[in-house]
Structure 1
Amino acid sequence: MILPAVCLVLTIAIYGFVKRFYKKYPKIYFTPLVVTPAILVLLLVWTNIPYNTYDAGAHWVTDMIGPATIVLAVPIYKNLPILKKHAFVIVSSVLFGSTIAIVTTAWIAKALNLDARLIESLAPRSATTPIAMAVSKITGGIPTITAVIVLLTGVLGIVLGPLVIRFFGIRNDVARGVLFGTGAHAAGTSKAFEFGSAAGSISSIAMILTAFFTFMTVSLVIGFFI
């Protein structure tokens, strides 16, 4: 029991250090979402600690994803007037964006001649990890592959999102929030809060709606490709 507990403490400590470093040097390649897993993987390989042993302690961090989402209710409540004012734009944009994400992912996977299970694993990539893995399992995909693809989607989203915003000169909080929440789920939402509370709140709503729309539409969309 000692080693799993050490793994848990080490995970939290590494994340805390990387988070503080990122605040001091806010470069995209220092983002905790990328650096923390990289350090942990290197440590596990170097020390020959089995993943099951690590997960026995560190799984508590993963288990907190659900309860932590509740915290998003605070900025959402503070920005409720903005959310109500732009409700139609947010909902319609997220519906369109999440559907396009599923369609293009399935289409590209099919064009690459990937088998049905891989298509089902890749399609829900824009939803948050718990929802995406659940959808993958329901449709016949491989949840572990889905989790990796969701992580990669989040990383790409926080890397490319700011570039898109600067290139197109996007200054509207609604547009920024929908972009990050729909395209990069929780990682994108964290990035959206760097642009302001309103953008982060809208991203939170977009993330939740994306998960809902993905759950409702992915099976139908995949049916056209497999």
Structure 2
Amino acid sequence: MIGLICLLGTLGLYAVSKRIYAKRPKVYLSPLLITPVIIILILTWAQIPYESYNKGGKWLSSLLQPATVAFAVPLYKNFKVLKKHATEIIAGVLTGSCVAMISSAFLAKCLHLDTSLVISLVPRSVTTPIAMNVSQDIGGVPNITAAFVIMTGLLGSMIGPMVLRMFKIDNDIARGILYGTSSHGAGTSKAFENSALSGTISSISMIVAALFTLGAAPVMMHMLAH
């Protein structure tokens, strides 16, 4: 019973926070930030163990696998856009993805973090479903990776506009690649606030980055280990 209440409560809280964000699109009101923070406060206050919460929450986690497959749909629908800007998208995404993985592992090692945390950090710059799968495949902790992914998305949404202004980037293609590669879903939402084209390119970049990381992360971790 507690699991069902937690599941419905999570869905309701996310729906409410999403409506609030739609009216006031501020980063600190993002559903990705508000929902987990409130859930943690409620669980702590009510002294509900995570295991009890997860009896209902696990159904949401199970939806991550079909969500991964569903990425093929926007990729197919936007294939003409992908084909037209293939060079820019692929070059930008591959560069950004490599820098993200290498810098994550390097920074984690410099901070002398536990090996499992180092590995869990590597796929932080791709969307949650694939990031968790990659983390599991390379020996990380998927739940920790998910937390890093959310943090990366939120930070990217906040820092992205400043980077665009600093370097005077006003091209929709460049904006889309930046947001989609660096801050996945949260960044894509931000990109759509700029323009439909920027959001579309961001969606494609996010998917391409996820697919590249899925194949490159195990190889990169093997290289870093030696």
Equivalent in the alignment of 1:106: 105
Q: How many residues are matched?
A: 224
What's the counterpart of residue 222 of structure 1? 221
- Give the corresponding residue for 1:207: 206
Tell me, in whole angstroms, the C-alpha distance in 2 between the residues paired with 1:128 and 1:66: 12
The amino acid across from 1:73 in the alignment is V
TM-score, normalised with respect to structure 1: 0.88
Distance 1:82 1:140, change over 3 A: closer
Aligned mates of 1:114, 1:205 — CA distance in 2 = 33
Are the structure 2 counterparts of residues 11 and 75 from structure 1 closer, same or farther at C-alpha, using a change threshold of 3 Å? same
Q: Deviations over 1:52-111 (max 9, x none)?
A: 22222233333334545638835972x554332111110111011101111111122222
Distance between the aligned counterparts of 1:71 and 1:129, measured in 2? 12
CA distance in 1, matches of 2:196, 2:72: 11
Q: Which residue is 1:171 aligned to?
A: 170
Structural mapping, 1:1-20, within 5 Å: 1=1, 3-20=2-19
> Aligned pair in 2 of structure 1 residues 73, 104: CA closer, same or farther (>3 Å)?
same
Q: What percentage of aligned pairs have identical amino acids?
A: 47
Residues 1:151 and 1:74: Cα distance change in structure 2 (over 3 Å): closer
Tell me: CA distance 1:67–1:191, structure 2 relative to 1, closer, same or farther (3 Å): farther
Q: Which amino acid aligns with 2:27?
A: I
TM-score by length of 2: 0.88
Q: Which residue of 2 aligns with 1:121?
A: 120
- Structure 2 matches for 1:48-67, cutoff 5 A? 48-67=47-66
| SS of 1:225 mapped into structure 2 | helix
- Structure 2 equivalent of residue 83 of structure 1: 82
Aligned counterparts of 1:137 and 1:72: Cα–Cα separation in 2: 22
Q: Deviations over 1:6-34 (max 9, x none)?
A: 22222122112211212222222111111
Residue 73 (structure 1) aligns with? 73
> What are the superposed Cα offsets for residues 156-206 of structure 1, whole Å, 9 maximum, x if unpaired?
111111222233332222111111111112222222222222222211111
Q: CA deviation at 1:118?
A: 2.6
For the structure 1 residues 179 and 113, does the alpha-carbon distance in structure 2 shift closer, same or farther, using more than 3 Å as the test?
same
- Output the CA distance in 1 between the equivalents of 2:99 and 2:71: 29
Q: How far apart are the structure 2 equivalents of 1:52 and 1:113?
A: 30
Query: How many Å separate the matches in 2 of 1:222 and 1:75?
Result: 28
Q: Does the Cα contact within 8 Å between 1:76 and 1:202 map onto a contact in 2?
A: no
Pairwise CA RMSD of aligned residues? 2.3
> Which letter maps to 1:150?
V
Segments of 4+ moved more than 6 angstroms: none
C-alpha separation in 2, matches of 1:80 and 1:137: 30
Q: Residue 144 of structure 2 aligns to which amino acid in structure 1?
A: I
